[in-house]
């Protein structure tokens, strides 16, 4: 696991966007796994800027979803499909045909989960998977004590998560679905390069447990320690509880430029 400490969220977004751009230069049709929420927005803004300036051609890129609400129609403005189309696909100038995600409105949700896991494999696998992290160490909707071998599946949202997400539904918790489809931890670890971005002091403890703690299901993100090429990018605030912060700074400063992220 490589840990990169950056000054702020903007710097983190630029660094990861350049890693994506470098991937697209090597593999123009790369499959990019994207996350929702506020944390990855600096990445998407920086990448869209690179596309607009001609610094990178994303026209053949493919986009896939990390998770989705169950029960919301695909066109619902707060379905994660709609969010990804709005925040990633459209700004990059891609068509909806470049996008793949689980069917949260399917009658047979379990079959939809299995179909999506299979579709990712049939697409050649995810080349780069973007991740955020919860204050409890969750990635995707893999809450604490999720199986580290789990595949794409249905999960029940905690009451706190529904309360937190009510702001996207006119502050009405009754509109927030109880269930989601999420890539499992095992599915996430299949990606060739998972990159986790964490910003803010509120994520500091989760980051420390993920990077320096034991691999344990109580901190699902700690499973990234098992991956041969996982990167954790954190701002100074999110790095504030890392015991080896100075070591991480020194190793990144000495990293050969040709090696990339």
Distance of alpha carbon 81 from the chain centroid: 14
90 an active-site residue? Answer: no
> Catalytic: which of 143, 190, 193, 235?
143
> Catalytic: which of 138, 190, 193, 235?
138
Instruction: List 32's β-bridge partners, or say none.
Output: 63, 128
DSSP 86: I
Question: Which DSSP string do the residues of 167-179 spell out, in sequence order?
Answer: GGGTT-GGGS-SE
| Strand, helix or coil for residue 84 | helix
136 an active-site residue? Answer: yes
Among residues 19, 36, 35, 17, the alpha carbon closest in space to that of 92 is found at 17
Cα–Cα distances (Å) from 246 to 193, 200, 237, 251, in that order, read 24, 18, 14, 9
| Strand, helix or coil for residue 181 | strand
| Strand, helix or coil for residue 80 | helix
In terms of DSSP H, where are the helices of the chain?
Answer: 9-26, 41-53, 80-84, 109-122, 159-165, 185-189, 204-212, 245-253
Structure tokens given for 74: 């695909």
> Catalytic: which of 14, 67, 117, 190?
67
212 an active-site residue? Answer: no
> Catalytic: which of 114, 136, 164, 205?
136
Question: Which DSSP string do the residues of 50-84 spell out, in sequence order?
Answer: HHHHTS---TT-EEEESEEESSS-TT-TTSHHHHH
Q: Which residues are catalytic?
A: 67, 136, 138, 143
């Amino acid at each position: 696991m490589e840990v990169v400490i950056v000054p702020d969220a903007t710097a983190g977004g630029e660094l990861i966007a350049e890693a994506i751009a470098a991937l697209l230069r090597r593999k123009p049709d790369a499959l990019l796994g994207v996350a929702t929420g506020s944390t990855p927005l600096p990445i998407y803004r920086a990448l869209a800027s690179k596309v607009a300036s001609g610094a990178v051609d994303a026209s053949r890129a493919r986009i896939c979803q990390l998770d989705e609400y169950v029960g919301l129609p695909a066109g619902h403005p707060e379905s994660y499909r709609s969010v990804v189309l709005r925040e990633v696909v459209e700004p990059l100038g891609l068509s909806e045909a470049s996008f793949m995600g689980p069917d949260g409105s399917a009658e047979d949700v379990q079959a939809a989960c299995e179909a999506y896991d299979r579709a990712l494999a049939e697409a050649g696998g995810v080349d780069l998977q973007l991740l955020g992290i919860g204050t409890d160490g969750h990635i995707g909707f893999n809450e604490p004590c999720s199986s580290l071998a789990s595949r794409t599946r249905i999960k029940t949202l905690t009451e706190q998560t529904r309360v937190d997400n009510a702001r996207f539904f006119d502050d009405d918790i009754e509109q927030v679905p109880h269930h989601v489809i999420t890539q499992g931890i095992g599915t996430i670890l299949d990606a060739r390069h998972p990159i986790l971005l964490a910003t803010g002091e509120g994520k500091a403890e989760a980051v420390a447990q993920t990077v320096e703690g034991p691999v344990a299901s109580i901190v699902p993100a700690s499973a990234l320690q098992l991956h041969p090429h996982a990167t954790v990018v954190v701002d100074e605030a999110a790095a504030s509880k890392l015991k080896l912060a100075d070591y991480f700074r020194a190793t990144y400063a000495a990293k050969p430029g040709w090696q990339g992220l």
